């Protein structure tokens, strides 16, 4: 009987030991299979393009086996801070932030760093902060493309209006810098109005162009806008003076309304800023940082605190001649959306 109990006890011990081993193996497998969780925060969803940013980001992350916690902030700094705090409480492994304000967002980065969460600045740089990377479109080249096309259209002379986005906004600053790098080479071009616009407002841009037209007695040859929303304001102001098809107008982002206006001759060009490669590159960089892997970058940029690795994604000029090949055939906008109201 005693011998039987000994064998029984040994059997129980072995079973318990095997059970522990199986549990540890299962926990180890579970740990290695744990999905990377990314936080993705956009400044707003109030502009047409940002639905694309969100969808491209989330779809590509899912294809790589990552989870995404998404938030947008209605262009409000305080709300963005609160949204990031919520994401950090959900224990994201890395966070990708399009800052509402590039300077104010430094405090958000501090919060993330306290939790040892790497931060990727998306589309706009975050200044004076310990960010790990900056993924952006080549905004300087956007301005160069706009200005070169305008110079060609106006034969290198005339009065220009420059509609800039939010003051201190890194993208607005870079597009404007690109524009001016070209225009400064043409002494017969005069920038008669150069104005920032809070929230990149189309309505405010309309007012700016109206005032410039009045001040210059409609003697305006070109309007260069940092984005298509402000270009739309310019088109509306020009239409009031029956100048919509006579003045060169450039924008950026390839918004659907801008594409339609290009086909109608009311806007001269836009710049497609590669939203899909931007979003997908941000996903790859964030996952690499979460896994403590090295990243590939194009250049280093000082944000006031450190030299930050920068990844630039491509931009391209869109005119009436290449809408089909560059916008429709690539799937950026559907054929029905682009040409539906422009038949005949």
Strand positions, DSSP E, 30-129: 37-42, 67-72, 94-97, 119-122
**Dist CA 220 CA 213 (whole Å):** 7
Distances (CA, A) of 303 to 128, 130, 255: 6, 9, 30
In this structure, the dihedral spanned by the alpha carbons of residues 63, 68, 73 and 78, taken in order and rounded to 10 degrees, is: -150
CB 166 within 8 A of CB 134: no
Tell me, yes or no, if the two domains 37-131+275-313 and 139-272+317-339 fold the same way: yes
Structure tokens at 8: 């029984």
Strand positions, DSSP E, 289-328: 299-302, 307-313, 316-318
**Dist CA 192 CA 202 (whole Å):** 19
For the domain made up of 139-272+317-339, give the CATH fold: Rossmann fold (3.40.50)
Per-residue pLDDT reduced to its tens digit, 152-209:
999 999 999 999 999 988 899 999 999 999 999 999 999 999 999 998 999 999 999 9
Per-residue pLDDT reduced to its tens digit, 204-230:
999 999 999 999 999 999 999 999 999
Residue 3 clears pLDDT 80, i.e. is over it: no
Per-residue pLDDT reduced to its tens digit, 231-280:
999 999 999 999 999 999 999 999 999 999 999 999 999 999 888 999 99
CB 144 within 8 A of CB 182: yes
Model confidence band, residue 142 (pLDDT cutoffs 50, 70, 90): very high
Model confidence band, residue 140 (pLDDT cutoffs 50, 70, 90): very high
Residue 10 clears pLDDT 60, i.e. is over it: no
Average pLDDT over residues 23-42: 67
Per-residue pLDDT reduced to its tens digit, 298-338:
999 999 999 999 999 989 999 999 999 999 998 899 999 99
For the domain made up of 37-131+275-313, give the CATH fold: Rossmann fold (3.40.50)
CB 169 within 8 A of CB 124: yes
Pairing of strands 270-272, 316-318: antiparallel
Spans of all domains in the chain: 37-131+275-313, 139-272+317-339
The pTM (predicted TM-score) of the whole model is: 0.75
Model confidence band, residue 4 (pLDDT cutoffs 50, 70, 90): very low
pLDDT at 19: 53
């Amino acid at each position: 009987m005693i011998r039987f109990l000994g064998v029984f006890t040994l059997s129980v011990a072995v079973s318990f030991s095997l059970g522990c081993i199986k549990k540890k193996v299962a926990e180890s497998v579970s740990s290695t299979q744990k999905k990377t969780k990314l936080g993705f925060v956009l400044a707003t969803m109030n502009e047409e393009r940002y639905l694309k940013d969100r969808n491209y980001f989330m779809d590509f992350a899912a294809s790589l086996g990552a989870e995404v916690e998404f938030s947008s902030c209605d262009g409000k700094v305080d709300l963005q801070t609160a949204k990031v705090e919520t994401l950090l409480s959900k224990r994201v492994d890395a966070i990708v932030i399009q800052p509402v304000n590039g300077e104010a967002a430094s405090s958000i980065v501090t919060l993330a760093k306290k939790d040892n969460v790497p931060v990727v600045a998306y589309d706009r740089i975050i200044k004076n902060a310990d960010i790990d990377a900056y993924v952006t479109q080549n905004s300087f080249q956007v301005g160069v493309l706009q200005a070169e096309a305008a110079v060609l259209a106006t034969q290198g002379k005339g009065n220009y209006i420059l509609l800039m986005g939010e003051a201190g906004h890194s993208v607005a600053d870079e597009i404007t810098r690109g524009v001016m790098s070209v225009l400064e080479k043409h002494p017969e071009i005069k920038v008669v109005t150069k104005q920032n616009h809070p929230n990149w407002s189309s309505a405010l841009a309309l007012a700016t162009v109206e005032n410039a037209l009045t001040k210059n007695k409609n003697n305006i040859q070109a309007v260069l806008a940092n984005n298509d929303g402000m270009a739309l304001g310019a088109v509306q102001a020009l239409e009031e003076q029956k100048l919509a098809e006579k003045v060169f107008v450039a924008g950026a982002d390839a918004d659907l309304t801008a594409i339609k206006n290009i086909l109608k001759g009311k806007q001269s060009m836009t710049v497609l800023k590669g939203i899909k490669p931007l979003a997908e590159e941000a996903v790859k960089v964030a996952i690499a940082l979460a896994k403590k892997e090295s990243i590939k970058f194009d250049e280093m940029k000082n944000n006031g605190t450190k030299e930050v690795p920068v990844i630039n994604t491509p931009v391209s000029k869109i005119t009436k001649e290449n809408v089909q090949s560059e916008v429709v055939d690539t799937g950026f906008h559907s054929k029905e959306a682009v040409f539906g109201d422009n038949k005949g």
